[in-house]
Amino acid sequence: MKGIKMVDLKGQYLRIKNEIDAAIQDVLLGTDFIQGAQVKRFAEHLSVYHQGAHVIPCGNGTDALQIAMMALELKPGDEVILPVHTYVATAEVIALLGLTPVFTEVNEETFNIDPHLIKEKITAKTKAIVPVHLYGQCAEMTPIIKMAKEYNLFVIEDLAQAIGAQYTFPTGESKKAGTLGHVGCTSFFPSKNLGAYGDGGAMITTDQALADKMQMICNHGQRIKYHHDIIGVNSRLDTLQAAILNVKLKYLDDYTKRRNKVAGFYDTQLKDVPFIKTPARAPYSTHAFHQYTLRTDGIDRDHFKKYLEEKGVPTMIYYPVPLHLQKAYQRPGFGEGSFPVTEKLSKTVISLPIHTEMSEDELLYICHSIKNYHG
Ligand SMILES: *Cc1c(COP(=O)(O)O)cnc(C)c1O
């Protein structure tokens, strides 16, 4: 079968082409390319989507993390706890601000930071925990929030892969990813669940003062033009991207449903394949299925990947090299063997195509190809 894609941005665009084209045309004719009305409108709509939490759009998801950490006044030497199995952006901004990234092992089933291993990482210098809701499912937030309260730490959620995921506390209270900690940081990179047609990101918080501060930092630390109260950056969401996102936000829940349908199909078809483990569903979170990530068991993952490629089935490895083994993030005392779960995952995970436009024929073909693999 030809033409199976990891993501199908063109197919997704074509279904809403008229609306998108009109929104773009509107911006072109309005020429408010920076800080246009569409940016404010998008922030308001995304705020409604997050039960009224403040939303501050910015240039990209990496900047969102950086601006959040700047606004929380984290200082050089402060330690920030994060999962070692994540995208580099999470660690990058920590290091860039002179803070110390403190890598923590993840749970093999959920791929997310293991809350039981956080406590031993906390020192007098620890200021924040950054749980990443990897592949679209929330990290186990209840013990993380409890620990953060006990040790007076900030919780900065990285929800770049999990926008729309819903977390349920033991009390039965349910909240969206991004509103669980002090601040949530997300990305509108084109292939993310809510993707722009370029870079984009946002911070989400229920704290008004923090929202004001992040808004200032995004725009050179100014509230009034040419009056700079704090040191900021230039990180704004383009009006064009905001106009596109305004259209796409209406479809986000439908997109999530479509992703879940694909995941459900894979679950059913692949659950009895002996050499793979389908992704675990945590009882406390819905899954936004940014990625559908299998763990291989007892086979050569890279050989399996190559076999699928030859069958016309693209796959991706998120992530092939753990952060503590990356040249830029090596730390004294850490090396091969320091994080065995993450190291194992880097050798065994494989993500299948999942997007909003997949056909049943494609899914059947992919599953058939997987079942026919013989090592
Ligand atoms: C995509 C992503 C980011 C960074 O977002 P950008 O918009 O690409 O800067 C950060 N964290 C995670 C987990 C991501 O997947």
Q: Which CATH superfamily is domain 252-371 in?
A: Aspartate Aminotransferase, domain 1 (3.90.1150.10)
CA of 201, closest atom in ligand 1 = 7
List of residues 6+ apart from 272 with CB closer than 8 A: none
In this predicted structure, what is the pLDDT of residue 58?
A: 98
Whether ligand 1 lies within 6 angstroms of the CB of 296 is answered as no
What ranges in the chain are assigned the alpha helix state H?
A: 9-15, 17-30, 37-49, 61-71, 88-96, 141-151, 208-218, 239-249, 252-270, 301-310, 340-348, 360-371
Q: In which residue are the tokens 């809701």 written?
A: 133
Sign of the dihedral through C-alpha 212, 218, 222, 224: negative
Q: Whose CA is nearest to atom 14 of ligand 1?
A: 160
CATH of 9-104+113-249, picked from 3.40.50.1100, 3.30.470.20, 3.40.640.10, 3.90.550.10, is: 3.40.640.10
Whether ligand 1 lies within 6 angstroms of the CB of 135 is answered as no
Q: Whose CA is nearest to atom 7 of ligand 1?
A: 61
As to burial, measured by CB atoms within 10 angstroms (0-12 exposed, 13-18 middle, 19+ buried), residue 375 is exposed
**Amino acid of residue 316:** M
Whether ligand 1 lies within 6 angstroms of the CB of 237 is answered as no
List of residues 6+ apart from 76 with CB closer than 8 A: 97, 98, 99
In this predicted structure, what is the pLDDT of residue 12?
A: 98
Contact 345, 106 (CB under 8 A): yes
Whether ligand 1 lies within 6 angstroms of the CB of 59 is answered as no
CA of 132, closest atom in ligand 1 = 13
Ligand 1 centre distance from Cα of residue 94 (Å): 14
Whether ligand 1 lies within 6 angstroms of the CB of 244 is answered as no
DSSP count for the chain of H helices, then E strands: 12, 14
Measure the CA–CA gap between 265 and 270, rounded to whole angstroms. 8
Whether ligand 1 lies within 6 angstroms of the CB of 90 is answered as yes
> Quick one: angle between helices 208-218 and 61-71, nearest 10?
120
DSSP-derived pairing of the beta strands 183-187 and 174-176: unpaired
Instruction: Give domain limits for the chain.
Output: 9-104+113-249, 252-371
With the most atoms of ligand 1 within 8 angstroms of its CB, the residue from 82, 113, 161 to mutate is 161
Ligand 1 centre distance from Cα of residue 89 (Å): 6
From first to last of its 375 residues, what are the pLDDT tens digits of the chain? 889 999 999 999 999 999 999 999 999 999 999 999 999 999 999 999 999 999 999 999 999 999 999 999 999 999 999 999 999 999 999 999 999 999 999 999 999 999 999 999 999 999 999 999 999 999 999 999 999 999 999 999 999 999 999 999 999 999 999 999 999 999 999 999 999 999 999 999 999 999 999 999 999 999 999 999 999 999 999 999 999 999 999 999 999 999 999 999 999 999 999 999 999 999 999 999 999 999 999 999 999 999 999 999 999 999 999 999 999 999 889 999 999 999 999 999 999 999 999 999 999 999 999 999 987
CA–CA distances in Å: residue 257 to residues 288, 315, 343 = 8, 21, 32
Ligand 1 centre distance from Cα of residue 160 (Å): 5
In this predicted structure, what is the pLDDT of residue 331?
A: 86
Ligand 1 centre distance from Cα of residue 115 (Å): 22
List of residues 6+ apart from 125 with CB closer than 8 A: 77, 78, 79, 100
Whether ligand 1 lies within 6 angstroms of the CB of 285 is answered as no
Whether ligand 1 lies within 6 angstroms of the CB of 157 is answered as no
Measure the CA–CA gap between 196 and 237, rounded to whole angstroms. 10
DSSP string, 57-108: EES-HHHHHHHHHHHTT--TT-EEEEESSS-HHHHHHHHHTT-EEEEE-B-T
Whether ligand 1 lies within 6 angstroms of the CB of 161 is answered as yes
Whether ligand 1 lies within 6 angstroms of the CB of 187 is answered as yes
Q: Whose CA is nearest to atom 10 of ligand 1?
A: 89
